[in-house]
Structure 1
Amino acid sequence: MAAPALIALAHGSRDPRSAATIKALVGEVRAQRPDLRVEAAFLELSKPTFQTVVDKLVRAGHDEIVVVPLLLSDAYHAKVDVPAAIAEATARHEGLQIRASHILGLEQVFLQVLDERLRSALRAARVRELDALVLAAAGSSDALANQAVARLARVWGARHKLPVTAAFAASAPPATGEAVRAFRAEGRRHVAVASLFLAPGKLPDRAAELALEAGAVAVSAPLGAHPEVARVVLARYAVGAVELVPV
């Protein structure tokens, strides 16, 4: 009996770098589990669409699919868009079983990836001293989602014994520039920003721009196609695949 197919489902972006990064991440997932059928799909703005990928898998004979939403926050896209897309797909294909896993979320292992990305940015900027950190995320109208980012920021700051602030590119204060300026007003001159985004795009670019304008010494790249992120995708898949097994 074949294992369920895996669809790594991202939101999508008009920025081609975003889709390229998601597809590279899916390539890393495939490299770790070459026995699985793994596909990338997007809710909107990028191709292939979710419905297109589902149709392709059904034509290939797959009747069980696990969808792993490539989302860091459990907000509107996770609660509304993903279930709606799955409901549409299952309505169109009789006998098809689709299980959505939990979102990627904010795993503490991602802090290791953030550290790698930030160390690279610090080397490029020739920065050897830090006295504050900012964790930049997309932001949400869902207060609980923003609080989850703030909690992760506190854990990250405690690891490095540095003050840290969570900042947001949209929907919630403070913006990255405000967070950097607040630290500089305290006399902290070496403030670095880590990008808690999965892939490049408009929001990460804006967050970086505001941070650098405010005096940040370095801004890291997003998490990207890192092996640890791929491992979390596969961990989510494993739970979803078990849930498809008849009791």
Structure 2
Amino acid sequence: MAERITPREGVPTLLAVAHGTRDPEGTAAVRALLERVRALRPWLPVAGAYAELAAPSLEEAAARIDGPVVAVPLMLARGYHALVDIPGRLERLCPEAVVAGPLGPHALLAAALADRLVPGGGFAPSGGGPPRRTDSVVLGAAGSADPAGLADVRAAARLLSRRLRRPVPYGFVAAGGPALADVVAAQRARGAGRVVVASYLLAPGYFHGRMRAAGADRVSAPIGAHDALARLILRRFDQAVFQSPGPGARLAART
């Protein structure tokens, strides 16, 4: 059984809540990411949980924490889990808890995505070197039924485009559109040397498998345990602490 977390007086616990996956590589990636967060701020108590599919659940993790809680959804865009599910469940569990905004879009994520496209950037993609100027880079995302989530992915593609100094279209492997396979095919039809997908995912799992099946020449690994992502988690935590409007499991402002 996991130990209870009892922080120093006045120090809230950062409760990182990932979507969840049945893939053990996915949960291992989340654990490794949270170890990066702890290494950056050793005095801060950090706990992990999942919204679904994996343990510990949000309820199990929250029950082990004594004192104030600031939840950081490990979601790359707005959507049901970040805006409705996690705040609603926490309000029932910890009425004084605060929920930070989702992680993306953000320039730190673009930096991590660019790093994953280069062999040696942690989780190196398979096959070939970094994208050439004749290649097409496509941002691959899971998708969302929430228009705000789709807008966040469009913004993430613009940030990656700015980082790489080349156009970066985007596509989805689940809800929303355009479909990633269609975008990959369109780039190939336009004469791209290779089509490379930048995986806009936190960890391995079902959606990364869908991306690998979309017909691209290369698919980068998910962002995973990257220092830029760890710094962004702490930034969202700090924003929630300093911008919280008061008690209750409410969403903190996001900038």
TM bucket by the smaller chain?
0.7 to 0.9
Alignment of 1:182-201 (within 5 A): 182-201=186-205
- Counterpart of 2:148 in 1: which secondary structure? helix
Q: CA deviation at 1:32?
A: 0.9
Amino acid at match of 1:79: L
Contact in 1 for aligned 2:125/2:221 (Cα 8 Å): no
Residue of structure 2 equivalent to 1:93: none
Q: CA deviation at 1:246?
A: 7.3
Contact in 2 for aligned 1:168/1:176 (Cα 8 Å): yes
After superposition, the Cα gap between the structure-2 partners of 1:245 and 1:190, relative to the gap in structure 1 and judged at 3 Å, is closer
Contact in 2 for aligned 1:140/1:172 (Cα 8 Å): yes
Of all paired residues, the percent bearing the same amino acid is 35
Contact in 2 for aligned 1:195/1:204 (Cα 8 Å): yes
- Give me the CA root mean square deviation: 2.1
Amino acid at match of 1:156: L
Q: CA deviation at 1:124?
A: 4.3
Contact in 2 for aligned 1:6/1:39 (Cα 8 Å): yes
Gaps of 5+ in 2: 1-8, 248-255
Contact in 2 for aligned 1:127/1:217 (Cα 8 Å): no
Residue of structure 2 equivalent to 1:35: 43
Residue of structure 1 equivalent to 2:229: 229
Residue of structure 1 equivalent to 2:138: 134
Residue of structure 2 equivalent to 1:119: 118
Q: CA deviation at 1:7?
A: 0.5
Gaps of 5+ in 1: 91-95
After superposition, the Cα gap between the structure-2 partners of 1:208 and 1:171, relative to the gap in structure 1 and judged at 3 Å, is same
Contact in 1 for aligned 2:125/2:220 (Cα 8 Å): no
Contact in 2 for aligned 1:176/1:208 (Cα 8 Å): no
**Aligned counterpart in structure 2 of residue 72 of structure 1, from 66, 72, 76:** 76
Contact in 2 for aligned 1:6/1:37 (Cα 8 Å): yes
Contact in 1 for aligned 2:72/2:100 (Cα 8 Å): yes
- Counterpart of 1:198 in 2: which secondary structure? coil
Q: CA deviation at 1:193?
A: 0.9
- Counterpart of 2:103 in 1: which secondary structure? coil
Contact in 2 for aligned 1:130/1:190 (Cα 8 Å): no
Residue of structure 1 equivalent to 2:18: 10
- Counterpart of 2:117 in 1: which secondary structure? helix
Structure 1 residues 139-184: Cα deviation after superposition (integer angstroms, max 9, x where no partner): 1111232122123213322443433211101112222221111011
Please give the alpha-carbon distance, in whole angstroms, between the structure 2 residues aligned to 1:234 and 1:122.
25
Amino acid at match of 1:234: L
Contact in 2 for aligned 1:130/1:191 (Cα 8 Å): no
Count of residues in correspondence between the two structures: 234
After superposition, the Cα gap between the structure-2 partners of 1:180 and 1:86, relative to the gap in structure 1 and judged at 3 Å, is same
Which has the larger helix fraction?
1
Alignment of 1:75-90 (within 5 A): 75-90=79-94
**Aligned counterpart in structure 2 of residue 153 of structure 1, from 118, 142, 157:** 157
Whether 1:219 aligns to 2:223 is no
Please give the alpha-carbon distance, in whole angstroms, between the structure 1 residues aligned to 2:21 and 2:149.
21
After superposition, the Cα gap between the structure-2 partners of 1:183 and 1:122, relative to the gap in structure 1 and judged at 3 Å, is farther
- Counterpart of 1:125 in 2: which secondary structure? coil
Contact in 1 for aligned 2:124/2:221 (Cα 8 Å): no
After superposition, the Cα gap between the structure-2 partners of 1:4 and 1:189, relative to the gap in structure 1 and judged at 3 Å, is same
Whether 1:56 aligns to 2:60 is no
After superposition, the Cα gap between the structure-2 partners of 1:30 and 1:245, relative to the gap in structure 1 and judged at 3 Å, is farther
Contact in 2 for aligned 1:130/1:192 (Cα 8 Å): no
Contact in 2 for aligned 1:63/1:97 (Cα 8 Å): no
Name which of structure 1's ranges 115-124 and 70-79 shifts more when overlaid on structure 2: 115-124
- Counterpart of 1:119 in 2: which secondary structure? coil
Name which of structure 1's ranges 230-239 and 169-178 shifts more when overlaid on structure 2: 169-178
TM-score normalised by L of structure 2: 0.84
